[in-house]
Structure formats: structure tokens, C-alpha cells
């Protein structure tokens, strides 16, 4: 096993980031060299088979109710054991709330190098080392990083920065269900409760995002924006100006001090496109901007720009979209 | 109870401007500021101090001598003490080596019941240093904490946000938190604190005082290496439409609707 990917699941399914990590691994090595580690409980067997058929030679599943949610000690203990057993050259995880906590904790324990939030990976021809490229300083620069000596070479990968691997493209994967020994499950965290959020509003996984800026003018104008987001099946995001005014919660903030997103479609309404905001969204596939100021910086990034008053555009746009029927 | 807060000095992004022609960064008078997300780490520590009267809040920073200014700012905002780790041997540290240095400082001046870090620094932007310190010191850890629910002698109740929802946990102490901006509003410094901070001496720690092997820190001790830096091209060639009257409002809204419909169906 050359590459070990750290898959993620909920109680129903293997999550999309896992398939994206698989795409990354397949670009580096053949399927025979790819292993995946999955921690969780209660998943139907078909989910494992489906994931394996997207190109995982060896899928190792540790099942326990106590692995349903991330806790540093158990997750790290299992990863360390797997690295000791399979000696992968490369370990890839998602730049998710889980991966961004799990990998640094384990990297310290293993004395491994770790690169955060990569958007590109490659192999250096001469040395066979992993080249990890990531945005830094708010996306102003890109840095390529390698880990010459320490093993494994570890990286977290920005969600939605590549396509998901297709299931059914490969056969012959081995699936192994394991039970973690109780000693590994010891942790200083004890769970008190969990409240699920509406996934359709979850920014980081959203394929489409409607973002409002200060051009919104008043919170009373939000319902129209929400209606548009609903019609497009998009999650709602905001600039810091909007969050600081308390019009939307911090979980909606996109940018340097908020979330980083890579959706298929970003629609910015009344967003100026300050560099700190761009840091969180410039990797979007398509960018559309509506702004009353023809000089707005977001326009320089947009595939489609509309100079106009968003309060005037919204009702017309909504009725046009409705007229055309379901999207 | 003793609480440590880790704060980093970062370049002010407001003074970072892009040259549109060349796609390069222009650093107009590259000012350095307190990492904006670390102000929330301090805020969390102040909240914790309020929950347990008599708690001590001690801020740490590793950085160039100029980071003293950042620590004074943190004192003005209400921290009780501050220490700066500044040494040429630390230069070029990646997150692994930075965590080694900070962990050694925490051990030297500890023990601490709680260590509080920001979600991430706006320059390096990794969010790795906190979890790495937790691993280094064998501390229990909770990341992306957005609310502190309760604090007792031996444990802390917290709420954190993940992609799937809100989790509540009881963390046994000693432990480490990384906190997000949702933790609360940042209070302004009081005049008295400002004056005191101006006069304060920030003790300086050197790597050898921390018992650190120079081979294990700085560039030498860093597992990762930057191979190359380049500038992403930002500008795209898009289409631009202007609304000037009722007719163009309708026509252009239709163009927009059509584009969104196509993009949404992709
Ligand atoms: C350290 C630091 C971190 C930061 N982090 C973030 C971050 O994470 N995310 C973030 O977003 N910002 C961040 N900022 C703030 C950032 O610099 C900008 O202030 C912010 O992005 C601007 O938000 P905005 O576009 O909503 O507001 P503005 O810049 O005020 O822009 C509003 C826009 O709306 C347009 N407008 C007004 N009325 C209308 C109308 N009726 N119809 C259409 N358009 C209209 C205006 O022409 C203008 O372009 C940060 C700043 C600093 C210093
Ligand atoms: N040089 C440093 N000195 C003090 N604290 C730091 C330093 N670097 C990182 N931190 C802490 O670790 C957090 C994450 O930083 P980073 O991993 O660099 O994104 C920051 O918000 C700080 O709380």
C-alpha cells in the first residue's frame, strides 16, 4: 500500500470527500497501491462495496459507536496502528473539520510532515516525492511543499477541489471489518449531545452558493435572497460585513477569517470582492456577480457580471426562474 | 486555574494588495498585527477566567522580537501575563517545529489547565499548530469550539460546529481548545489595561532555555520544505451586462436566469 486515504462517513453513507480523496490517490498510484481507512458504525455493507468499487484495493473499516464522531485520541491511535501495519508512503485526508484536527494530531505523534488544505498534488519525477500545492496568505500566493525525509508524507485536501471517483469502475477490492481494542477508545472527551444541521444549507459541501454582501442593505431583504437560494438549490453565504452586522451567523461567513468554499456556482449579490473575501471563494468553478458599482472588484473574477441594483434584479430574476419551472 | 493563550503576529492583510497586471502581491508598508482569529482565543480565555474567578491568563507567542507588540496588545485586551519566545534557531519552523517550541514553553512555564488557540493563523492558514501541541503534550482536545457551556475544576463543557451539526462534549482537563469567531464579541481594551500594557515588560525566552535541541526546531527540524512559490492568476474574462432602464433590467435578468439555470443543471 503506497497511499492511505482517510475516508469519512456518517451513519448512512461514505461521504463525497472520500471519493474525492480516491481521485487524488488514483492520480498518484495504481488502484493496487491504494488503501482506505474508515471509522464509524452502522453503515450498510453496500456502502463499503460501493466505495471499494471506485478503486480501493484494501478498505479497512473500524466499527464502533464510539467512532461515530471525531475524537483525537481514538482516531489517532487507529491511524498510527494502520500506518505501522501498512507503511504507506502517503496519507491523505480531507481538509474538513475532522481531517484538519485528526491529521495534525496524528502527524505530531508520528513525527510526520503535514501540508494543509492542498488544491493540487503531484509526484516529483527525480525523487518520487509528493508535491503538495496549497494557497497561502489568503490565496495571494500558491506554495508547493514537499516532505523529503519523514514518513508518511501527509496532506489534507480541500473538499470539492477535484471530481469524485466513480463507483463500479474497479473490482477486486478487499474489505476488512475490524473492532478497535477498548484501550484505543479511551479519550478525554465525553459526548453530551448532538444537533444535526440541515445539510442543504451546509456551505462546505454545497455545489451552489448564493452569497450576500453589504449591498443587501437591510436584513428585511434576506427573505428574497433565501427564496432565490431555494430556487437554485443553493446554500446561503455572506461576507464579513453581513456577519458583523448580525444579519447572518458566522457559519455563513466566507473568506480569510471564515469558510473556504469551492462550489460549482458562486453567485455574489452586493459583494465588493475584497481580497479577504476572495480568499475564501476564488477557486469556485463559475462566478457570477451582481453589483451596482461597475468598478466592483468581484467583477474582475466573474464569468458573468451584472451591473445593477440587486433589490431590483432579485424580484425579476426570481420570477424568471419560477416561470421556467423547476431547476 | 491557569489558562494559556497562544497568539501569533501576522502580516496585516489590509496592506497586502494584488498587482492586477503581474498578479503579484504588493506589500504596502507591511504592517504586522495580532492574528485576527487569535483575538477570539483570548476572548475565550477571558470568558473562562470569568467563569472561574482567580484564574490566570498567560499569553504566549513565538516570533520575531517585534511580536512583543502583539503581546502588549493582548495584555491591553486583558491577559494577565505574556511571554515571547524569540530565537534565530526558531526561524523557518513549519507547524510541526512551531508546535514543538510552543509545547516546550508551555511545559517550562506551566502546568496549565487549559491551552486556547485560534482556529488558524491568517498567513500560514493551516490550523495545525493547536492540534499538534495537544498531541505533543498528551492533552485532550476540542477543535472548532464556538461556545463554552460550563467550566469546573476538572472539566469543561463545550459546543463545537462541524459540517454535520453542533456537538456538545465534556472535556477532561488539562486540555486544549481551538476556538472560532463565534465564541463571542471582542471587548475593547480598557484605558487602565492599555496604560499597564505600555509599561509592561514581556519576558523573552530563548530556545536553549526551553531545553530544545536546535536540530529539532527551525528549518532544520521541520519535516516539510517549501519548494516553490507562485502567484495564481485571478482575473477571468467574463461577460458584463449593464442595467440602465426597465427594458435592460428585464433583458439582463433573463440572461442571468438562463446562465444560472444552465450552471445549476450542470
Ligand atoms: C483580517 C481581516 C479578515 C477579513 N476576513 C473576511 C472574511 O473572512 N470574509 C469577508 O467577506 N470579509 C473579510 N474581511 C473584510 C473585507 O475586507 C471586506 O470588508 C468585506 O469582504 C466586504 O464585504 P461586502 O462586500 O459585503 O461589503 P462592501 O465592501 O461594503 O461592499 C458592498 C458592495 O455592495 C454593492 N452594493 C451596494 N448596494 C447595492 C445594491 N443595491 N445592489 C447591488 N450592489 C450593491 C457596493 O457597490 C459594494 O461593492 C476581512 C478583513 C480583515 C481586515
Ligand atoms: N508562532 C506562534 N506563536 C503563538 N501561537 C501560534 C503560533 N503559530 C500558531 N499559533 C497558534 O496556533 C493557531 C493555529 O495557527 P496555524 O496552525 O499557523 O494556522 C493560531 O491561531 C495560534 O493560536
Distance from CA of A172 to the nearest CA of B (A): 32
Identify the CA nearest to A36 among candidates A14, A82, A4: A4
Fold held by B2-216:
Rossmann fold (3.40.50)
CA B43 distance to own-chain centroid: 12
Indicate whether residue B9 lines ligand 2 (CB < 6 A).
no
Regions in chain B scoring below 50 on pLDDT? 20, 22-24
Cα of A62 vs centre of ligand 2, distance in Å, is 32
Task: Please answer yes or no on whether B96 and A111 come within 8 Å at the CB atom.
Answer: yes
* Contacts A193 to B, Cβ<8 Å: 167-168
Interchain CB distance below 8 Å, B141 and A72: yes
Atom of ligand 2 nearest to the CA of B125: 19
Cβ of B227 within 8 Å of Cβ of A70? The answer is no
- Rounded-to-integer distance, Cα A141 and Cα B226, Å: 12
Contact criterion met (CB below 8 Å) for B249 and B243: yes
What part of B 101-130 touches A (C-beta under 8 Å)?
A: 122-130
**Angstrom distance (rounded) from CA A114 to CA A112:** 6
Report which protein residue has its CA nearest ligand 2's atom 7: B8
C-alpha cell of residue A150: 519523514
Q: Reading across the β-sheet that carries A265-269, which strands appear in turn?
A: A235-238, A208-212, A265-269, A286-291, A304-307, B239-242
- Report whether residue B143 contacts ligand 2, using a CB cutoff of 6 Å: no
Give the pLDDT confidence score for residue B23 in this predicted structure. 45
Angle between helices B129-136 and A99-110 (to 10 degrees): 40
Give the distance from residue A121's alpha carbon to the nearest chain B alpha carbon, in angstroms. 13
CB B259 within 8 A of CB A172: no
Rounded to 10°, the helix A72-86/B129-136 angle is 80
Q: How many CB pairs under 8 A join A and B?
A: 282
Q: Which fold has domain A3-184?
A: Rossmann fold (3.40.50)
- Which residue from B133, B180, B250 is facing A316, i.e. has the nearest CB? B250
What separation in Å is there between the alpha carbon of B119 and the centre of ligand 2? 8
Give the number of the atom of ligand 2 that is nearest the alpha carbon of residue B129: 17
**Does residue A257 line the site of ligand 1, with CB under 6 A?**
yes
Q: How far is A305 from chain B (nearest CA, A)?
A: 5
Residue nearest ligand 1's atom 36 by CA = A215
Query: Which whole-number Å values give the CA distances from A275 to A88, A250, A263, A297, A298, in the listed order?
Result: 39, 18, 18, 9, 9
When CB atoms are compared, the residue of A105, A253, A275 closest to B13 is A275
Question: How many Å apart are CA A268 and CA A248, to the nearest integer?
Answer: 15
Residues of B in contact with A234 (CB under 8 A): 264
List the CATH code of the domain at A208-323: 3.40.50.1220
Q: For every one of its 327 residues, what pLDDT tens digit does chain A have, with 9 covering 90 and above?
A: 999 999 999 999 999 999 999 999 999 999 999 999 999 998 999 999 999 999 999 999 999 999 999 999 999 999 999 999 999 999 999 999 999 999 999 999 999 999 999 999 999 999 999 999 998 877 778 899 999 999 999 999 999 888 899 999 999 899 999 999 999 999 999 999 999 987 666 788 789 999 999 999 999 999 999 999 999 999 999 999 999 999 999 889 999 888 889 899 999 999 999 988 998 898 899 999 999 999 999 999 999 999 999 999 999 999 999 987 655
Question: What are residue A58's DSSP bridge partners?
Answer: A35, A174
Task: Please tell me which residue of chain B has the smallest CA distance to A200.
Answer: B164
Q: Establish whether residue A277 lines the binding site of ligand 1, counting it when its CB lies within 6 angstroms of any ligand atom.
A: yes
Taking the centre of ligand 1 as the mean of its atom positions, its distance from the CA of residue A270, in whole angstroms, is 8
Asked if A3-184 and A208-323 have one fold, the answer is: yes
- pLDDT at res. B141: 98
Closest CA to B35 of B5, B2, B3, B80: B5
Contact B94, B132 (CB under 8 A): no
CA B77 vs. chain centroid, Å, equals 16
* Pocket of ligand 2 contains residue B128 by CB under 6 Å: yes
> In this structure, what are the phi and psi dihedrals at residue A59, rounded to the nearest 5 degrees?
-105, 115
* Span from the CA of A275 to the centroid of ligand 1 (angstroms): 9
Cell numbers that stand for A307 in this block:
451591473
Q: Which ligand ends up closest to the CA of A248? A: 1
Its pTM stands at: 0.89
Question: A213 C-alpha to center of ligand 2: Å?
Answer: 29
In the reported structure, the alpha carbon of residue A209 is separated from the centroid of ligand 2 by a whole-number distance in angstroms of 30
The whole-number pLDDT of residue B24 equals 47
Q: What is the ipTM of this complex?
A: 0.89
Closest Cβ opposite residue B16 in set A234, A265, A275: A275
B219 touches chain A (CB under 8 A): no
CA dihedral B102, B108, B109, B111 (to 10 degrees): 100
Domain chopping of chain A, boundaries = 3-184, 208-323
SS3 B144: strand
Amino acid at each position: 500500500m503506497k497511499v492511505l486515504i482517510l475516508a469519512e462517513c456518517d451513519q448512512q453513507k461514505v461521504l463525497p470527500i472520500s471519493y474525492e480523496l480516491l481521485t487524488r490517490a488514483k492520480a498518484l498510484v495504481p488502484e493496487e497501491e491504494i488503501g482506505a481507512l474508515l471509522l464509524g458504525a452502522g453503515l450498510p455493507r453496500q456502502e463499503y462495496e460501493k466505495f471499494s468499487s471506485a478503486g480501493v484495493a484494501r478498505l479497512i473499516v473500524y466499527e464502533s459507536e464510539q467512532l461515530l464522531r471525531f475524537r483525537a485520541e481514538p482516531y489517532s491511535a487507529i491511524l498510527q496502528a494502520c500506518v505501522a501495519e501498512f507503511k504507506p508512503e502517503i496519507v491523505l485526508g480531507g481538509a474538513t473539520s475532522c481531517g484538519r484536527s485528526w491529521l495534525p494530531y496524528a502527524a505530531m505523534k508520528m513525527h510526520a510532515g503535514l501540508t494543509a488544505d492542498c488544491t493540487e498534488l503531484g509526484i516529483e519525477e527525480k525523487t518520487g516525492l509528493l508535491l503538495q500545492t496549497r494557497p497561502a496568505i489568503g490565496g495571494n500566493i500558491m506554495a508547493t511543499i514537499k516532505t523529503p525525509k519523514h514518513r508518511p508524507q501527509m496532506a489534507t485536501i480541500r473538499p470539492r477541489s477535484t471530481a469524485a471517483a466513480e463507483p463500479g469502475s474497479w473490482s477486486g477490492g478487499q474489505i476488512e471489518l475490524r473492532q478497535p481494542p477498548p484501550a484505543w477508545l479511551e479519550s478525554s472527551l465525553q459526548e453530551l449531545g448532538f444537533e444535526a444541521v440541515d445539510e442543504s444549507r451546509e456551505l462546505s459541501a454545497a455545489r451552489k452558493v448564493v452569497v450576500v454582501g453589504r449591498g443587501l442593505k437591510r436584513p428585511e431583504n434576506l427573505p428574497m435572497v433565501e427564496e432565490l437560494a431555494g430556487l437554485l438549490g443553493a446554500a446561503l453565504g455572506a461576507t464579513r460585513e453581513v456577519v458583523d452586522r448580525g444579519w447572518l451567523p458566522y457559519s455563513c461567513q466566507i473568506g480569510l477569517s471564515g469558510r473556504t468554499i469551492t462550489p460549482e456556482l458562486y453567485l455574489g449579490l452586493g459583494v465588493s470582492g475584497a481580497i479577504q473575501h476572495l480568499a475564501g471563494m476564488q477557486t469556485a468553478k463559475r462566478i457570477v456577480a451582481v453589483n451596482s458599482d461597475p468598478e466592483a472588484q468581484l467583477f474582475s473574477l466573474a464569468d458573468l457580471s451584472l451591473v445593477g441594483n440587486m433589490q431590483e434584479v432579485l424580484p425579476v430574476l426570481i420570477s424568471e426562474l419560477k416561470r421556467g419551472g423547476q431547476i | 486555574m491557569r489558562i494559556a493563550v497562544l497568539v501569533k503576529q501576522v502580516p496585516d492583510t489590509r496592506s497586502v494588495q494584488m498587482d492586477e497586471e503581474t498578479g503579484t502581491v504588493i506589500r504596502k508598508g507591511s504592517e504586522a498585527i495580532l492574528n485576527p482569529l487569535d483575538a477570539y482565543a483570548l476572548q475565550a480565555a477571558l470568558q473562562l477566567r470569568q467563569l472561574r474567578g482567580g484564574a490566570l491568563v498567560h499569553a504566549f507567542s513565538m516570533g520575531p522580537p517585534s511580536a512583543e507588540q502583539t503581546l502588549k496588545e493582548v495584555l491591553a485586551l486583558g491577559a494577565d501575563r505574556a511571554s515571547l519566545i524569540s530565537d534565530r534557531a526558531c526561524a523557518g519552523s513549519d507547524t510541526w517545529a512551531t508546535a514543538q517550541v510552543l509545547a516546550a514553553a508551555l511545559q517550562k512555564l506551566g502546568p496549565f489547565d487549559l491551552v486556547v488557540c485560534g482556529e488558524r493563523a491568517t498567513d500560514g492558514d493551516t490550523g495545525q499548530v493547536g492540534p499538534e501541541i495537544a498531541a505533543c503534550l498528551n492533552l485532550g482536545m476540542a477543535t472548532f469550539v464556538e461556545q463554552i457551556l460550563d467550566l469546573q475544576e476538572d472539566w469543561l463543557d463545550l459546543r463545537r460546529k462541524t459540517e454535520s451539526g453542533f456537538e456538545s462534549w465534556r472535556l477532561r482537563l488539562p486540555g486544549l481548545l481551538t476556538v472560532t469567531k463565534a465564541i463571542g464579541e471582542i471587548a475593547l481594551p480598557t484605558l487602565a489595561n492599555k496604560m499597564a500594557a505600555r509599561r509592561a515588560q514581556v519576558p523573552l525566552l530563548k530556545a536553549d532555555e526551553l531545553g530544545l535541541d536546535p536540530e529539532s526546531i527551525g528549518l532544520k527540524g521541520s519535516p516539510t520544505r517549501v519548494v516553490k512559490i507562485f502567484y495564481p492568476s485571478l482575473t477571468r474574462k467574463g461577460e458584463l451586462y449593464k442595467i440602465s432602464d426597465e427594458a435592460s433590467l428585464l433583458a439582463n435578468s433573463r440572461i442571468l436566469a438562463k446562465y444560472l439555470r444552465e450552471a445549476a443543471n450542470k
